[in-house]
Amino acid sequence: MNILVCITHVPDTTSKIQFTDNNTKFDSTGVQFIIGPYDDYALARAVELRDQTGGKLTVLNVGLAESDPTLRKALAIGADEAIRVNSEPKDSFFVAKQIAHYAKEGGYDLILMGRESIDFNGGMVHGMVGELLGMPSFSPVMKLDIEGSTVKMAREIEGGKEMLEASLPLIAGCQEPIAEWKIPNMRGIMSARTKPLNVVEPVSDETQAVATQYQLPPAKGAVKLVDKDHVEELVKLLKNEAKVL
Amino acid sequence: MSILVYIEHAEGKVKKTSLEAVSFANALSAKTGEGDVVALALGTIGQDELAAVGKAGAAKVLHAADDRLTAGVIQAHASALAQAFEKVGAKTVVLAKSSLGDAVAARLAIKINAALVSNVVELPDTSAGYKVKRSIFTGKAFAETEVSTENKILAIKKNAVDLKTDGSDAVVESFDVSLSDSDFASKITSTERATGEVLLPEADIVVSGGRGLKGPENWGMIEDLAATLGAATGCSKPVSDIGWRPHHEHVGQTGVKVAPSLYIAIGISGAIQHLAGVNSSKCIVVINKDPEAPFFKAADYGIVGDAFEVVPKLNEALKAEL
């Protein structure tokens, strides 16, 4: 079985979010970039499935050369080869078009990615790719097992989950606890250096919804502390001052 | 021309988040002159419940009563929406951001060649072009997004707009959808849903517990406090990782993102990944015995004290007041 995992190259979850150039650009000064945490779950499950069924595992990122270390890390975790579509990820539609093109070329049985990127939180690329390729898409998927030609999944819904069955090929946007994150070992890191990382050019330049200006939320005022022996004070504040009761 | 709104329902009730989407569409139409708000409801649900969608600002509800659509079959819902979009001659689709809404909207965007903007927090600015403000970086920032397509889909973040309740009943019209077998190629074999409780992603008040509670057997006081407040219960990631609470209660960066009016955090230190899930809350209360807990920096109100002592007292004080 051939699996494609699409990963994002995003600021670490503990990064301080700041903007530069008159709030038109993310300020990456001092920021560490990682594989998107949801993509990391997708990758971990894909490595397990590849080990179980055989075949090839490809990782893909739409990004500039700065994404290469992130792709190398995915190779160290267990992917067999990497593709980087050499462009900034301009918007979700742009990214979906690139993935759909290269996914079609590769003829994958299963396409996994995170439920959403942790920078723009759109959560739409998997569905767009699904529709572009005429494949079913599911998200957020928290369990995915393959039994013969049947894929059994659990999809999280508000306050619970639903169990699903579908056939390959399909696309899933993944989240925990689909698998445990995998930490690359020394052998993985060594072998990642020689695995292929192919840089390809974008196939379309179309965009639909591009972020042009950024803004931080207003700073939070200092916390008001209430004495633990006078909790009724807190109730009054919530009722009369915050007006949330 | 009309604005189309995708309505979700569970256990015979239209979701409150969907009513917010209707209210948003109503306000949007008042601004852009896009005509009536038409809602689309799929599957089995009562006619009275659908007519009441008018209170939030819909003039008409299209109802495709095919029972196969009652469950959230993503492909079929996207097809039905595309057909309704064509029928009502809409340019804009509005829906609430949700597990199903996200999955359906992405496919619809390709079908109707529409830009999809997610996590929308206010009405678009149409003074020059079409600009939409949305929440990004898990609530840590906002982006103004320029939309360049004629057709648009806006997925609304909770609390983006005040819920309208003073409209009159909507006309409910049955709507025939033509669906193929491929729309139902995937099967939902079972659904597990916490019943009778307030659902976390949609709750107005959330009470969350962390490792400070020492064990799952101590969740009773969290549930008692939540019951007093009509709140949903949540937890931190470590708590769901060790299995004290189910995963769908995990609030944070990689769990559920909540946007309630009131978020009460008990025995949670406030790691940045947890804060990412709660920073859209209107008011945050932190109860922790460690005065240095980072959560206090993100809180509006705080009590430094032992949860086992403070929480029961707070529950009594709330009962006396509410």
pTM: 0.91
The token duo for B111 is: 């079908």
Convert chain B into a string of H (helix), E (strand) and C (coil).
CEEEEEECEECCEECHHHHHHHHHHHHHHHHHCCCEEEEEEECCCCHHHHHHHHHHCCCEEEEECCHHHCCCCHHHHHHHHHHHHHHHCCCEEEEECCHHHHHHHHHHHHHCCEEEEEEECCCCECCCCCEEEEEEHHHCEEEEEEECCCEEEEEECCCCCCCCCCCCCCEEEECCCCCCHHHHCCEEEEEEECCCCCCHHHCCEEEEECHHHCCHHHCHHHHHHHHHHCCEEEECHHHHHCCCCCHHHEECCCCECCCCCEEEEECCCCCHHHHHHHCCCCEEEEEECCCCCHHHHHCCEEEECCHHHHHHHHHHHHHHHC
Looking at residue B199, its pLDDT comes to 84
CB contact under 8 A, A234 and B285: yes
> What is the block-wise mean pLDDT of chain A (245 residues), using blocks of 10 residues?
97 93 95 97 98 96 98 98 98 98 96 97 97 96 94 92 95 95 94 97 96 92 94 95 92
Pairing of strands B131-136, B141-147: antiparallel
**B304 and chain A: CB distance < 8 Å anywhere?**
yes
State the smallest CA–CA distance between residue B54 and chain A in angstroms: 24
- pLDDT above 70 (res B187): yes
Average pLDDT of span B166-177: 96
| List of E strands, A148-196 | 150-157, 160-167, 170-174
pLDDT in tens, B266-314: 999 999 999 999 988 999 999 999 999 999 999 999 999 999 999 999 9
How far is A215 from B128, CA to CA, in rounded Å? 19
Contact A157/B74, CB-based, under 8 Å? no
How far is Cα B96 from Cα B103, in angstroms, rounded to an integer?
12
- Tens-place pLDDT, residues B13-42: 999 999 999 999 999 999 999 999 999 999
Give me chain B's average pLDDT, please: 94
* B170, B60 Cβ separation under 8 angstroms: yes
Q: What number is the ipTM of this complex?
A: 0.93
Spell out which residues of chain B touch residue A89, defining contact as CB-CB under 8 Å: none
Instruction: Kindly state the percentage of chain B with pLDDT values over 90.
Output: 86
Which chain B residue has the Cα nearest residue A93?
Answer: B115
Which pLDDT score, from 0 to 100, does residue B198 have?
A: 80
pLDDT-derived band at B158 (thresholds 50, 70, 90) equals: confident
- Return the pLDDT at A171: 98
B242 and chain A in contact, CB less than 8 A? no
CB contact under 8 A, A156 and B192: no
**Mutation for testing the B interface, residue in A113, A145, A162 having most B CBs under 10 Å:** A162
Chain B residue numbers with beta carbons less than 8 Å from the beta carbon of A173 are 103
CB-based contact A209 B98, cutoff 8 Å: no
| pLDDT tens track for B100-116 | 999 999 999 999 999 99
- pLDDT at residue number B195: 67
Which of chain B's residues have a Cβ under 8 Å away from the Cβ of A176?
247, 254
Residue B201 pLDDT: 86
User: What pLDDT is attached to residue B188?
Assistant: 93
Chain A residue with minimal CA distance to B188?
Answer: A164
| Closest chain B residue to the Cα of A217, Cα to Cα | B141
Q: Does B160 touch chain A (CB under 8 A)?
A: no
Residue located via tokens 């944070």 = B252
Is residue B196 over pLDDT 70? Answer: no
Q: Do B309 and A228 touch (CB under 8 A)?
A: yes
